[in-house]
Amino acid sequence: MPLVVENLNHIYMKGGPYETQALHDVSFTIRDGEFVGLIGHTGSGKSTLVQHLNGLLQPDSGRVLVDGTDLADKTADRKQIRCKVGLVFQYAENQLFEETVEKDIAFGPKNLGLDAAEVDRRVREAMRQVALDYETISQKSVFELSGGQMRRAAIAGVLAMKPSVLVLDEPCAGLDPHGREEILGLIKRLHTESGATIVMVSHSMDDVAQLAERVLVMEKGRLVMDGTPEEVFTRGEELRSMGLDVPQVVQLCEQLRARGYEIPERIYRMEDIREILLKILKKGEHHAQ
Amino acid sequence: MLNDITLGQYFPGTSPIHRMDPRMKLILTIIYIVGVFLVKSFAGYAVAFLFLYLIVRIAEIPFKYLIKGVKPLRFIIIFTFLLNLFFLTGETPLLDIGPVHLTREALFNAVYFSLRLVFLVMGTSVLTLTTSPVQLTDALERLLHPLQRFHFPAHELAMMMTIALRFIPTLLDETDKIQKAQMARGADFESGNLIQRAKAMIPLLVPLFVSSFRRANDLAMAMEARCYRGGDHRTRLRELRYTRLDAVAAVVMCGFIVVIILEGRIFG
């Protein structure tokens, strides 16, 4: 089920004194099963863009097609679309409202009009997917959970709708390193296990480098880069001029190269650099002996 | 969808009206309102309109912003109009069909009182369009300051207003975000009967309250951490000063009031 964005423009406060164009002619296609990282500086239009992906915002011009359905089409079934494209907002835990975790996760499936047995099945499934224990946690109040658990419960609330595309807006924002690892781990599992299409917005280059198969870079409302992580992260100078940075692994490679070490090009993942560093260190030992 | 609410409808600019002392603007707005109440005839309204139009031109605000300000009150205005039209009695009948009796006097009063409402709203809109909320509360605090002698909490009141105004955009933003997040989970805020709609608000209101309390707590903590102890002995960043501009404005407003009083004598 491809997600097609064509010449999308969005203008906030049109005609007022504070009019700003948040998106300029953005076009791209996301294919089934892709893991796309969307990066950009604050105010680059990332969040506006993701809200277009399930029809929460309407384009001023251009089109967004989900599975061939134009989201601007008045006759299109909005619930159906929102069920296909699940959107996890930034600080998603702020949307929790029910008395118990179970009820909160059930909110989405219930809105879809599913019967109680199916809702229950989906709640259990979603909790398993985000590694929240059903037995101990489902009857707790959402406000008793830790920050990371709340975030995961909120993600489960979207997963319970069984979206075929999952869009996450800064899923790790404001979490401690441990919570971050948990969230990234579960996103990775979702992608590898169930083959879900994932769009992850982030301004952490490292998170994107670890997970994404394709990287989109936004600047001032325009899509300025679109390619594999290798392609994007070799353009370090351009990224820096946009106020973005390259992943720490790429920085490490650059600095090692500057000191005369032989480091192959296009290394951006932790696993890859580890091999190389181990080789270098072993060589160093040999020299020392 | 929440962009339609123009509560802090400040229209930034550098016109003479924008540069006036907010205290003077506040006082003159009140005087203008009194002036509108003194109007006795449509000729008077014409003068009031001309005066307002002139100010809006000087302030360089598109006139449609004033009309936009009246829009939320259209039902009250229409209600006033209809009430006066059908329930006032007069001597010269215009229309007499069955139970409906329309008279000239009733029609006059209906138009007259509705116009008064329109002018009240437009007059105050000029104030809020050209004065930022912060300036406005500043002005209010200074104007209420003398009442502190009678233990009137002028500073606290102004502080509360400032905080409230400061958080309106934040809360609107938050509401918008939570609403969208729940819509992404299939929530429906737009259809159903009254009870269903009220129920649909729960997923919106609970998170909003939770975050409001958290924000209030954080803000109180931050104020205390910076030794906030109320208004005594505080100096301010922006001192308010009356200038020649304010004197000119006051004289012009006096002229307007004189014209309106004369109009009352001639036509009233």
Quick check: B46 pLDDT over 70? yes
Q: Is residue A241 part of a domain?
A: no
Quick check: B5 pLDDT over 60? no
Report CB contact under 8 Å: A112, B188: no
Q: Dihedral sign, CA of B102, B103, B104, B108?
A: negative
A12, A13, A112: residue with CB nearest B186: A112
CB of B261 within 8 Å of any CB in chain A? no
**CA A30, CA A41: separation in Å to the nearest integer?**
21
Q: What is the pLDDT of residues A36-66, one digit of tens each?
A: 999 988 888 998 999 999 888 889 999 999 8
Taking residues B147-161, report their average pLDDT.
86
Give the DSSP per-residue string, chain A: --EEEEEEEEEESTTSTT-EEEEEEEEEEE-TT-EEEEEE-TTSSHHHHHHHTTTSS--SEEEEEETTEETT-TTS-HHHHHHHEEEEPTTGGGG--SSSHHHHHHHHHHHTT--HHHHHHHHHHHHHHTT--HHHHTTS-GGGS-HHHHHHHHHHHHHTT--SEEEEESTTTT--HHHHHHHHHHHHHHHHHH--EEEEEES-HHHHHHH-SEEEEEETTEEEEEE-HHHHHT-HHHHHHTT----HHHHHHHHHHHTT----SS--SHHHHHHHHHHHHHHHHHHH-
Quick check: B100 pLDDT over 90? no
Clarify whether residues A56 and A76 are in a common domain: yes
CB of B206 within 8 Å of any CB in chain A? yes
What pLDDT score was predicted for residue B2?
A: 43
CB of A255 within 8 Å of any CB in chain B? no
Percent of chain A at pLDDT exceeding 70: 97
Q: Is residue A263 part of a domain?
A: yes
What pLDDT score was predicted for residue B268?
A: 62
Mutate to test the interface with B, among A111, A114, A145, A166 (most CBs of B within 10 A): A111
CB of A164 within 8 Å of any CB in chain B? no
Q: What is the pLDDT of residues B108-152, one digit of tens each?
A: 889 999 999 999 999 998 998 999 888 888 898 889 888 888 888
Is the separation of the CB atoms in B84 and B108 below 8 Å? no
Element holding B267 (H helix, E strand): helix B244-267
**Would strands B93-97 and A214-219 be described as parallel, antiparallel, or unpaired?**
unpaired
Band the pLDDT of B1: cuts 50, 70, 90: very low
Quick check: A285 pLDDT over 80? no
Clarify whether residues A176 and A257 are in a common domain: no
Q: What is the pLDDT of residues B183-231, one digit of tens each?
A: 999 888 877 788 888 888 999 999 999 999 999 999 999 999 998 887 6
Q: The domain containing residue A54 runs over which residues? A: 3-235
CB of A279 within 8 Å of any CB in chain B? no
CB of A15 within 8 Å of any CB in chain B? no
Is the separation of the CB atoms in A70 and A64 below 8 Å? yes
Chain B residues closer than 8 Å to A92 by CB: 181
CB of B8 within 8 Å of any CB in chain A? no
A17, A89, A161: residue with CB nearest B186: A161
- Strand, helix or coil for residue B139: helix
How many domains would you assign to chain A?
2
Q: Is residue A29 part of a domain?
A: yes
**Among the ranges given (A135-144, B38-47, B223-232), the one the predictor scored with the smallest mean pLDDT:** B223-232
Band the pLDDT of A117: cuts 50, 70, 90: very high
Tokens 């004033």 map to which residue?
A: B66
Clarify whether residues A57 and A80 are in a common domain: yes
Q: Position A289: which residue type?
A: Q
Neighbour count for residue B173 (Cβ, 10 Å): 11
A13, A95, A111: residue with CB nearest B178: A95
What pLDDT score was predicted for residue A216?
A: 95
Clarify whether residues A285 and A187 are in a common domain: no
Report CB contact under 8 Å: B202, A97: yes
Closest approach of A134 to chain B, Cα-based (Å): 21
Question: Tokens standing for A118?
Answer: 């199916």
Mutate to test the interface with A, among B4, B5, B132, B185 (most CBs of A within 10 A): B185
Clarify whether residues A37 and A176 are in a common domain: yes
CB of A86 within 8 Å of any CB in chain B? yes
Report CB contact under 8 Å: A95, B210: no
Taking residues A275-282, report their average pLDDT.
87
What pLDDT score was predicted for residue A215?
A: 94
Clarify whether residues A255 and A127 are in a common domain: no
**CA B3, CA B111: separation in Å to the nearest integer?**
32
What pLDDT score was predicted for residue B3?
A: 45
Taking residues B235-247, report their average pLDDT.
86
Report CB contact under 8 Å: B3, A107: no
Instruction: Look over chain B and give the mean of its residue pLDDT values, rounded to a whole number.
Output: 87
Quick check: A259 pLDDT over 60? yes
**Among the ranges given (A60-74, A87-101, A117-131), the one the predictor scored with the smallest mean pLDDT:** A60-74
Clarify whether residues A97 and A7 are in a common domain: yes
Q: Is residue A78 part of a domain?
A: yes
Quick check: A283 pLDDT over 90? no
Give me the long-range contacts of B135-138 (CB less than 8 A, separation at least 24): B135/B22, B136/B22, B136/B26, B137/B161, B137/B162, B137/B165, B138/B22, B138/B236, B138/B238, B138/B240
Report CB contact under 8 Å: A95, B203: yes
Band the pLDDT of B239: cuts 50, 70, 90: confident
CB of B12 within 8 Å of any CB in chain A? yes
Clarify whether residues A210 and A69 are in a common domain: yes
Clarify whether residues A154 and A216 are in a common domain: yes
Band the pLDDT of A197: cuts 50, 70, 90: very high
Closest approach of A70 to chain B, Cα-based (Å): 17
What pLDDT score was predicted for residue A70?
A: 87
Q: Is residue A240 part of a domain?
A: no
Considering A79-93, A190-204, B17-31, the range whose residues carry the highest mean pLDDT is B17-31
B11, B183, B187: residue with CB nearest A17: B11
Can you say whether residue A146 is alpha, beta or left, with left for phi > 0 and alpha for psi between -120 and 50 degrees?
beta
Taking residues A163-181, report their average pLDDT.
91
Q: Is residue A242 part of a domain?
A: no
Percent of chain B at pLDDT exceeding 70: 96
Exposed, middle or buried by CB within 10 Å (0-12, 13-18, 19+), for B39? buried
Taking residues B158-176, report their average pLDDT.
85
CATH code at position A147: 3.40.50.300
Neighbour count for residue A89 (Cβ, 10 Å): 25
**CA A148, CA A155: separation in Å to the nearest integer?**
11
ipTM: 0.85
CB of A95 within 8 Å of any CB in chain B? yes
Q: Is residue A22 part of a domain?
A: yes
Taking residues A133-138, report their average pLDDT.
93
Q: Is residue A213 part of a domain?
A: yes
Using only the alpha carbons of chain B, give its radius of gyration.
23
Clarify whether residues A29 and A85 are in a common domain: yes
Report CB contact under 8 Å: A94, B177: yes
**CA B148, CA A48: separation in Å to the nearest integer?**
48
- CB-based contacts of B183, cutoff 8 Å, min separation 6: A56, A82, B189
Report CB contact under 8 Å: B180, A51: yes
Clarify whether residues A229 and A255 are in a common domain: no
Band the pLDDT of A286: cuts 50, 70, 90: low
Count of A-B CB contacts under 8 Å: 60
Question: Tokens standing for A197?
Answer: 């299409």
Quick check: A119 pLDDT over 80? yes
Clarify whether residues A266 and A149 are in a common domain: no
CB of A142 within 8 Å of any CB in chain B? no
From A16, which residue of chain B is nearest by alpha-carbon distance?
Answer: B11
B12, B184, B202: residue with CB nearest A82: B184
Taking residues B18-44, report their average pLDDT.
93
Taking residues A99-115, report their average pLDDT.
93
What pLDDT score was predicted for residue A248?
A: 87
What's the CA angle centered on B160, arms B155 and B165, to 5 degrees? 125
**CA B44, CA B100: separation in Å to the nearest integer?**
30
CB of A97 within 8 Å of any CB in chain B? yes
Chain B residues closer than 8 Å to A82 by CB: 183-186
